[in-house]
Each structure stands twice: as structure tokens, then as C-alpha cells.
Structure 1
């Protein structure tokens, strides 16, 4: 039988291919029809309920409302006590229409066609390949005139997923895209978001049953019945749950459910290839709530699977080796308004694909429409060009240099400049402080000043603050070994002297070691320590009293591990990735939230390599641009509307304000406006508008003059 020959798609009518899978069972021959249909933007139903912010204002002070993964609102109590949640508003008389979904909002409107399921699976497989018969027309039951080769895993999926008594329409990338036509593939890659979003359901295929997978999935489903996971990744007991304490991180009650057999089967399950693949990231993120996961004959809703991962990762009784396997899947892909490109970059670095281009193209549908529309898939281009282009597209869109925080000179991708992140793999050291990087104010709310001097040279403006003088040992090994390395980092006079940039040296040392992960700044971070507590333990330690255990329990959050301590001749110290070396320059770059290390390039005069991020007390809150905060003021991050917001507190009065006390009042022609979250810049909700010109800025218009008043002279750094 001849090999199947693809007919060109009509791009003007937005055609896609679909495969109609014929009925069958067991080892019956796989039979398909392949046909074309137009896929156009459907009309979506409009939700009429209130927003979370509006609804929260109707609740008693001790109550909170959250949105679950399937879009429902759940009402619970604030705090960590185990309490009963509810789907009902706690105040009598509140109109249910204000918080309930009035109708199914997860599918295209009535009568929308085509109707199909989209398959999410892995190509690579040790299973033998197979051939499927393809009919000569789109009429089921017509004569078969061609055949198409299927990978082993795909053949296994179709054998399991076909119905016995009726056909099933599927979208399958290996079949529905002509993989030998580069032009078609470039076009269809940009449509992947629509294909998975408009599907009736996404079907995840993990592979045949094996290694006790059915047992693992049944245990995950049992815990999912007791827990709700919200879009801000908080856990709540399912209303009416028979075991309402299972959501709580310190609850031991589900330990009997998860024995050695269960942990072993879960580790085997998560080691399946599907969990390491790039493309599945967007496939499940774009799926509606009807997505389902299949492994052999067992299946469960994808949302139940997600919930179970969340509770197991949060529970203190889950074995550490299991948590490390779950880590890449927690918190999963957030809603669109909270997934900037930097977050997608971190996510795909841990996943595999056949060619490096797909590290970008595989998440393109998850990026903002503004960004994705500016990037045209070009598989014929080198991967280095793809990585450069996406960095420039992000910079031109946001006028921020946040992607610089994800660069590492030691992990530089071949043929890319140091200012372009390596999408294939991350740095050997991932500073824990980077997790709170977008809550830092190293360059204030400044706009990047940059110019592209050549394909490889990006000129940026900033300030050089210090030069590295000494570098300590790597914080490697188990927690006890990390603790010993930290003791070797202690600078002279640690318990007695002041830190040259300001404050106690011991406080600055502890802030560096813990990379700012302190409850003093993040009030809601209940598992993080207060600086005063750490100071008390460390003073005792310096006087010879053993406080190792008290400090170790906080080091287990991941801070300090795999970092290097460094000092500068200007009196600063901090921690950095292992790339840091003597002579590196600590600088603040406008439009970048964290201090960076740069290194003079040997091969080209007056140019620099970007080494990577660093965490330096005294340079984290705009001090290099605006000076130190007045003594009575403290910068805190207040959790509001699902995110942390920088707030300045007057410690003498307890009064808090959003205004930086180091800045003069706004010019009367400028006003602050609050905006909805932008996917490209989700952590900055504050914009500035000129009432005379209607110009809107995502940076503070006072900064240029404030720098002039302080005599700050900006430098230009040519990064190569």
C-alpha cells in the first residue's frame, strides 16, 4: 500500500487537518480518515460574575475567596487553622449569580465546529512502530488506499483511546501536520494555542500500564477528592470533604494511604518521558477543565492530577526524593496574567525537545499575544538566532531587562552573546533569591536605557558599584556541609562591626546567606524566619553555643545551597552563582530588578560579559540610585490581589504608603493609575499617565531628575 500523500492546507481559510479514528479493539488494525476543516476564532461565552477583588469586599474580615483550577469560587477562612470551606457565600442574601458560573464557560459557543479531542503525548518510545491504514476520502468506511507510519507510543495510544462502537475525531501533531513541509510546520506551530484551546478536551497519554502506574494514579485521585488547588497555588479542603485536614501541610492523616509501594510507584510514574517534554507544557496549560490523563486503561481528570501534586509537594511528610521529582511540576503553569516570559523560560529549561528551537516555539502560545505575534517560527534559522530574537522582542515590548537575571556566562548557549539566556539549560546555581527577584527594587521603577549596537552587542545604562575582591567556597553537599561552608564565609568582625553600606554586619551577612527570604520583608511567608530570630541564634553560635539545628531548619528551604559568597573592596558582600570571580564588577542596570555581575571582555576593548545575578545587601532597594532609605522607613512586600506589592512603612508611626519617601511628589501633570495585570509585566500594576499628553509609562517619570539631583552619573556598558 502506498504511503499517505499530504494535500496542502488552505491558509486563507485557516484550515487544519483532523484524524477520524475508526472503531476497534485489542490488536485490530488502526484505521484513519484524514480530512481538512477550517479552525476560526469562536465566540466565547462571557462570564457575568463578580471579580475576586469585588467579592472579597463583601466578606467578613476573617474570610477569603479564591478561584479554583476549574474556575469555581471557594470561600474559606484566613489563617492556617483547619477549617471547613464552602462553595456558598458565607453572608446570607448575596446573589448567587455574583459568584457562581451561570453556564459552562469552558467550551466554544453552541454549534461551534469542528469538534475534536487534541492528543498530548511523547514521540520517543521503545515500543515498536506500526502502520495505520488511511482511507481515500473523509467518509468513514471507504476503501483504504494509503498507509501512514506511527511511532510506537502513538500506536499504543490509538489502540487504547479508540472506541469499540463509534469513531473518534482527534488532532494529533505527527499526523495532522506534514512534518516534512517546513513552511507548513512554521505556520501550524503558531496555531498550536488555538488548536489546544478550542479542543473539546485535551487527552494526555502517558503510555501503557506498567510499574504499578494504576496504583499510583488511584492514590492521586483519592487525595484529589479531598483538596482544592487555587490559581494562586493555595490549598483548601474540598467543601464536604470526608478528610478535611488533608490539605494542611502538617497533616499526617494521609500517611497510611501513601506507603512505600505508593511512593515507589509515584516515582516511576513521574519518570515517564511525557513529564520531561517541552510541548506538553502549553498543551495542558491551554486545555479546558475537561482534560483527562490516560495511562493504560486507567484515566483521571487532569485537574485531579494537578491538585494531588500540589498537596503532596506541600505536605511535610512526603519523602524528600519524591518532592524533588514533583518540584518541576509545582506550581505548574499559572494563569495567563501571571506568566511572563521569564517564568516560561524557567519552566522549559527543565524539559526536553528534539531541537532547541522548540524551547521557544513550544511555549509561544503561552506567551502574551503581543509577544507571540512578534515572533515568527523559523526552523531554518540557527537556534542561537531564535534565542536572540525572543530576548529583543521581550525588551522592545516591556522596556525592562528582566531576562538578564536568567543569564549565566558559564552556561552561555553557543554563538549567543552573554546577555541572551540559554533556553536549553539553566545555570548550575539557581539563586534562591531569584525567586523573589521581581519583588526587588535594585533599579527602582526605572525604564531600561538600551541600544543594539550590533547583532551581538547590547549597550545598557547603569552604575558600577563595587569590584569583587575575594570569593568563598561553594556551598555544596548536604545541609550540614552547607552549614560548615557558611561558617567559613564569616567576615572578620561579624558579631561586632557595622556593615559599611549601613546597618549591622551580622544582619547583612544573614540577609545575604538567606538571600532576602525573611518574614520581615514578606509578611505572609510563614515558613521563613525573622531576621531577629536568626540574629539571636547566630550571636549564640558565635559565642560557642550550638545553634546548628535552629539555623539548619531554615536553610532547608533551599537558601545558600550551591551559592558562593564574595566580598568587595568597597565593603559590600553578597552571594552569587559559581561563575563569580575576583575582579568582577557589581553593577545596577536600569530596568533590571537585581544587581548583576559583569566581567571585562578580554577579546574586545571596552566591552563586558554578563556573568550573572548576585544578591548584595545595600544594593537591593535602589540605594545606588536614590540613597539609603531614611532610618525610620522600611520596605515591605504586602500581599494584595494575588501578588506582592512594594510598600514603605514608617516604623515610628506604623503608617504604610506606596510612595518611595526618597522621591519628591509627582509633578501635577502626572498621575498614578492602576491597571489590570499585563502578562508581559504582571508584577507592575502601577502606571504613570501624563494628563497633558496622555502618555502612559510603566516607569517612574521622576527618576531621571532624581538621579540628576543626587549627582548620579550613569555609565554605558557594552554587553557582548
Structure 2
């Protein structure tokens, strides 16, 4: 069977890369196997900032784009996880405007990729809400989110601003005591959710850290991030440190202040999150720039650079740029295991990372 010509599929029109332009996706109302959308240009700053939109935070998943959405009347291939998310986000009675990286960024244009990544912090910060899409449900995750939904409903009837964790626990115990509650399955469901790939994706760090309001979705069930963030405490679960760090960043009354006090040095972020997952190894660095307090103005996302060149840029910054109170010896110790070295195709770069991680190496020889 003959393949359709390239003109059959949707292709992106260029956007203005000299300013703060970005694209938004209007999901047209309706329900069906194919989600129909319109893509249009807007501005993160200046004009059009009044446009209200949601931003999607999700895992790309399988690289196989074997599902289709219609963009401006033409088919556009997308991966299954995004297809599932768009199906859920589409409303039957009204249009919905969202930002979705895989569609709103021309992934074939490296210059645009770098430009948009540089603005991603503002894109998520200015969203009316960020949608944390954790994928499709299981019976246990549904029971878990239903219970958290009951907690969220009860909170509407009380003034809970300033509540301590103990006060939250007392209300949760009341919900658990109901005949319709299944504590064991609720706990099992939460454990399954915390084990989703979403918590291991490096990009979600920036997306969560910049969220002003957020909702956690798993299939048709949803709950506010402020309720989800305290759920492990309520159910007696101790998440692994990397997962707990994401929960601490979620917009809630318990949001850790460390994410707004400015002390987010790149070497510390690499040490904490360097082994997160990324489709493109260069994103193990680029995804951290938006939450780094010291790399701004020194490292820029450039997808024309090779992995080795990105590593070289990081070395130059870590070892030769003095910013604030960060000391060089701390920077040396931080990179005894940056994951990018493990994924970099060049053995020479792996060796260089290992050699330079030794604190005994004199600076003039580094």
C-alpha cells in the first residue's frame, strides 16, 4: 500500500524565536476515537498572557507514535500515553486549552527545542493548573484516588488552612473508619502510583517545582496535588527519597520552602537527580536548568550540541565558574556519579568524569 505524502500529515509553522512565543493546543469539544485540536501561537510574556491554559506533565513512554490526533485538520502521530491523556482531557461540552510539549514544540527543529526549553519554567508557572498524568488506572489506584477524593470533599466543609499533619490524620482516620473504606487496597493503590515512571522522569522536577496549582490524574480519577502530597503520610508510607522530593515540590501547604529559597545549585541537583530518566541524555542537564539557582545565564539548552559537548559545558561551569558561596571542592565531590556519564556514548568522557571526581586532583590540572 502506498504511503501518503508528507503533506498529508500536520507540520508545524515556525514561531518567533526572537521573543517569548510558544504554542498552545486547543482541544476541541467532543468525544471519539480521534481527538481533534487546533494549534496556535501565543506569548509567555507580554501580549496574550491573559489566555488561560493547563499544562500537561506526563511521561512520553514508548517512542512508537502509533496513535493519531488531528491538528488543524491534519493527522499527527502521537504515542499511546499522550493519546490516553488527551482522551481524558477532552471535554464533551467545551473546548480546552492546554500546553503539551510533544505537540506544542516542533521536535524536528533543534533551535526551537532549545528556545522552548529555556521558557519552560515560565510556561508551567503561568499555567492555570498543571495536570500530573500518571497513566491508566488499576483497581487499586482507583480505590486509592476515590478515598483521597472523599478526603478532598470533606475538606471543603472545614477551614483547614494552617492545619497540622495531626489534624489531617484525624480527618483521614474518620474516612478510613467508614464501611465503604478499604485501607489495605488504598495503600496498595498509592504504592502503585508512587512507583509510576512519572516520578522517575527528570523533566517532571521542573514541571512540579513551577506548578502554582496542580491536579493528579490517573485515568478518570483525579485529586488535587495538595491532597495527594500528604497521602503517603496518612497511609503510613515512606517513599524513596527521589519520590519524596517530588512530593515535597508539589503545590500544597506542606510544600518545602527549600524550593523557593534560592539554594538549588546545579551540582546538588545533579547529585540528587542525575540518575532520573530521560529520552534524550542531554536532558539530564537541560531539565535541571529551570530549577537551578546558579546555572542561569551560564548554560543554555542547545540541541545542536552532542552529549559530549554538553558534558564539556557542564565541566566548564562546575570547575571554572565561581557563583555565590559554592566551593570548588564541593563541586568535585558532587559528580562521582552523574548519570550522564553512564549514558554518554564516549568512553573517554566516562573516564574524564571519573578522574575529575577525585578531590585530590589539583585545580590547575583538572
Bigger strand share: 1
Give per-residue Cα distances to partners, 1:342-370, cap 9 Å, x unaligned.
332234224211121101111211112x5
Bigger helix share: 2
State yes or no: 1:20 paired with 2:30.
Answer: no
Q: CA RMSD in A?
A: 3.6
Q: 1:275 aligns with which of 199, 202, 209?
A: 199
Shift of 1:246: 2.6
Shift of 1:40: 1.4
Partner of 1:622: none
Partner of 1:187: 115
Partner of 2:255: none
> SS state of the match for residue 371, structure 1?
coil
2:267–2:335 contact (8 Å) kept in structure 1: no
State yes or no: 1:387 paired with 2:324.
Answer: no
Shift of 1:376: 2.0
Which deviates more from structure 2 when the two are superposed, residues 391-400 or residues 260-269? 391-400
1:261–1:126: structure 2 CA closer, same or farther, 3 Å change rule? farther
1:16–1:39 contact (8 Å) kept in structure 2: yes
State yes or no: 1:304 paired with 2:219.
Answer: no
1:403–1:220: structure 2 CA closer, same or farther, 3 Å change rule? farther
Shift of 1:240: 6.5
Give per-residue Cα distances to partners, 1:135-158, cap 9 Å, x unaligned.
2xxxxxxxx3x2111211111111
1:32–1:132 contact (8 Å) kept in structure 2: yes
Shift of 1:200: 1.5
Shift of 1:245: 7.3
Please list every run of 5 or more consecutive structure 1 residues that lacks an aligned counterpart in the other structure: 43-110, 136-143, 228-236, 422-607, 614-714
1:23–1:162 contact (8 Å) kept in structure 2: yes
1:611–1:299: structure 2 CA closer, same or farther, 3 Å change rule? same
Partner of 2:266: 341
> SS state of the match for residue 10, structure 1?
coil
State yes or no: 1:284 paired with 2:290.
Answer: no
1:388–1:307: structure 2 CA closer, same or farther, 3 Å change rule? farther
Please list every run of 5 or more consecutive structure 2 residues that lacks an aligned counterpart in the other structure: 250-257
State yes or no: 1:406 paired with 2:334.
Answer: yes
> SS state of the match for residue 246, structure 1?
helix
Partner of 1:132: 69
CA distance in 1, matches of 2:125, 2:16: 21
Partner of 1:330: 244
Structure-2-length-normalised TM-score: 0.78
Q: 1:9 aligns with which of 12, 15, 21?
A: 15
Partner of 1:39: 44
CA distance in 2, matches of 1:33, 1:363: 30
Structure index of larger Rg:
1
1:410–1:215: structure 2 CA closer, same or farther, 3 Å change rule? closer
Counterparts of residues 69-148 of structure 1 (less than 5 Å): 112-125=49-62, 129-135=66-72, 144=73, 146-148=74-76
> SS state of the match for residue 170, structure 1?
strand
CA distance in 1, matches of 2:117, 2:165: 45
Partner of 1:29: 34
Structure-1-length-normalised TM-score: 0.42
> SS state of the match for residue 148, structure 1?
strand
2:148–2:223 contact (8 Å) kept in structure 1: no
Aligned residues: 332
Partner of 1:485: none
Partner of 1:356: 281
Partner of 1:530: none
